[in-house]
Structure 1
């Protein structure tokens, strides 16, 4: 399989390590960039000083942004005429930053660029600075936006949405509460596991995926035990980045397809939605890829000799996560509609190692309920 064609696109420069965030301003100065626009969530919009960018134009975005949020951000950013767009936050902020960067032409709309390979060259540079260790959005060329009417996640992908600079500074993540650290960590884990077990898995990507899984298994409990543990925080950022590298050439499969309706319909944070679904899809796929599933279990140090579903569930619950859908306000009578919606996400499900029917997905939801 090593001779199977594969293209990996990675950011132009990655700065990794504690204290790197403040170098964002010097990177701009070195390139003569003077009109930054920062796309951030509400919390990070209040701490641009950690980047040395006090006074920079800033656009705040909500979690799980939809097309209305995107259009507002594009309008605000166009008014500032940026020469660099900076995503500062979790996946929502970084995805919107990618799209804003390629929508600076006043006549270009989202409909013009949605889908694969349609976004043209951008006028502004792009910097990504993650403050959660989950989505890996900083590493890739894909962005997701919810369509309000249908609640579908619309994927846009273009090499022009690849960052020129990525800063992975673990100091930016020490403020994350424990439940967010746990949920985003399992999101990164899901990226790695789903790419590792995908029908289009590739040996090159397998190395990134398996190392990401190992880092999360070793360091996520440490980060939860001591949120100021910079080595653990740095390991999780790196694992998240590795997961983002996996998303480009391989992408996710059933886990994310089944998790999406929890976010779009019931507004669960993306990381939490993936954590709730992760044990169920891992166990459901075990028979289709037993060898790789065994490697995942070993990398996470799951207890041998126990049913995989229970072991994976206990791993997530041991992170402090409430692992039942009912505990998060998901109504039981909505499960059939969610199953139909998830089953329609063929861009992910078609690459799952096992074919899942709508009834199979409904059974997963009921088991997770």
Structure 2
């Protein structure tokens, strides 16, 4: 883990507008930047309330699917040729596609030519992100994930050109998110922070954001689940998600996300739920290598630190108190698939190589078994 003297490259959107009512600044904000032909990328739920953006009749792609695949991206790109600014309106899936649409719009360039680190070309259009959930923090980052249907694996693309010009984080947009989705996305935000905090490339400048993000989730997530109209709780979770997004840029996630990805690609589990199911088990597995940071996470979430089993039990109880069923088997996952899932997760080296503990394929299978 990095010392105070270690160099780090921290990037954030040039303009961040956070707080109740900030969505009202969108139309004026894009006009001030000289944009006049917006193109909105949204999932069907948010496409149905696109009028909230205050842009009038606006070109849009409203068919973003959970765990978006290459064909979904290509369909989104096809409608953007006339745009001068792309607006991601939704959760992480919509915002991830918006990043890719912004660098691919008007170009005959397949994803295979820009995927990976620092291969995406400079944008010729603007990019604005408007999150409607408090989970992924994608509005703050420069990374996007799309599923390859041929291999059932995630294609990661990362580039400073995919960082938003403007991020508008209005917690009011999250008020309508159902309780079970609020719970799952909140745990996802927390997982971003925890995995960055305990990563082998953790850095003090990111630790600050990460630990405060965990504290915000510990303080506000249960409140928001119990009362979706709790404005302070919604705002606290939106801030936690943003902090998690900042963590993703220079540090990123580790084993928790690597183990969660097969649940999304194979079983189409929402990303937040997949991360929640895995979170207690990777936190416990990593605890011996970073006891002080794990203890800080436990304190922030309201349970006592102790042995790895104590950590697992405390983290699981935290998630169960949110109404989440924490058994893999309850979500349609077949026990017979666990070995293949373990092999798949073990191959995600871009994440696992930075986990504080070196997890073998057998270790990962044991974690899936514990979660089952």
TM-score by structure 1 length? Answer: 0.98
- The answer for the alignment partner of 1:364 in structure 2 is 367
Q: Does the Cα contact within 8 Å between 1:198 and 1:353 map onto a contact in 2?
A: yes
Q: Deviation at 1:108?
A: 2.0
Between the aligned partners of 1:68 and 1:51, the Cα distance in structure 2 is: 26
Between the aligned partners of 1:206 and 1:365, the Cα distance in structure 2 is: 28
Instruction: Map Cα deviations across residues 256-309 of structure 1 (whole Å, 9 max, x no partner).
Output: 000000000000000000000000000011111111111111111114568111
Between the aligned partners of 1:107 and 1:70, the Cα distance in structure 2 is: 13
1:320 aligns with 2:323: yes
1:44 aligns with 2:46: yes
Between the aligned partners of 2:305 and 2:333, the Cα distance in structure 1 is: 32
Q: Deviation at 1:224?
A: 1.2
Task: Count residues in correspondence.
Answer: 367
CA root-mean-square deviation? 0.9
SS of aligned partner of 2:44: coil
Between the aligned partners of 2:37 and 2:337, the Cα distance in structure 1 is: 46
SS of aligned partner of 2:267: coil
- The answer for the alignment partner of 1:264 in structure 2 is 265
1:162 aligns with 2:163: yes
Instruction: Map Cα deviations across residues 6-40 of structure 1 (whole Å, 9 max, x no partner).
Output: 00000010001111112111112222311100000
Shift in CA distance, 351/36, structure 1 to aligned 2, threshold 3 Å: same
Q: 31-40 or 199-208: which moved more? A: 31-40
- The answer for the alignment partner of 1:297 in structure 2 is 298
The one of 9, 12, 20 equivalent to 1:10 is: 12
Q: Equivalent residues in 2 for 1:119-130 (5 A)?
A: 119-130=120-131
Between the aligned partners of 1:150 and 1:31, the Cα distance in structure 2 is: 40
Instruction: Map Cα deviations across residues 121-158 of structure 1 (whole Å, 9 max, x no partner).
Output: 11110000000100011001000000001011011000
Instruction: Map Cα deviations across residues 168-202 of structure 1 (whole Å, 9 max, x no partner).
Output: 10100000000000000000000000000000000
- The answer for the alignment partner of 1:115 in structure 2 is 116
Instruction: Map Cα deviations across residues 176-234 of structure 1 (whole Å, 9 max, x no partner).
Output: 00000000000000000000000000000000000000000001011112111111101
Q: 328-337 or 106-115: which moved more? A: 106-115
Unmatched tracts of structure 1, length 5 or more: none
Between the aligned partners of 2:105 and 2:229, the Cα distance in structure 1 is: 39
Q: Does the Cα contact within 8 Å between 1:23 and 1:51 map onto a contact in 2?
A: no
- The answer for the alignment partner of 1:72 in structure 2 is 75
Q: Does the Cα contact within 8 Å between 2:38 and 2:83 map onto a contact in 1?
A: yes
Q: Equivalent residues in 2 for 1:202-221 (5 A)?
A: 202-221=203-222
Between the aligned partners of 1:226 and 1:325, the Cα distance in structure 2 is: 27
- The answer for the alignment partner of 1:22 in structure 2 is 24
The one of 354, 357, 360 equivalent to 1:351 is: 354
Between the aligned partners of 2:91 and 2:161, the Cα distance in structure 1 is: 20
Between the aligned partners of 2:113 and 2:33, the Cα distance in structure 1 is: 30
Q: 244-253 or 301-310: which moved more? A: 301-310
Q: Does the Cα contact within 8 Å between 1:85 and 1:126 map onto a contact in 2?
A: yes
- The answer for the alignment partner of 1:224 in structure 2 is 225
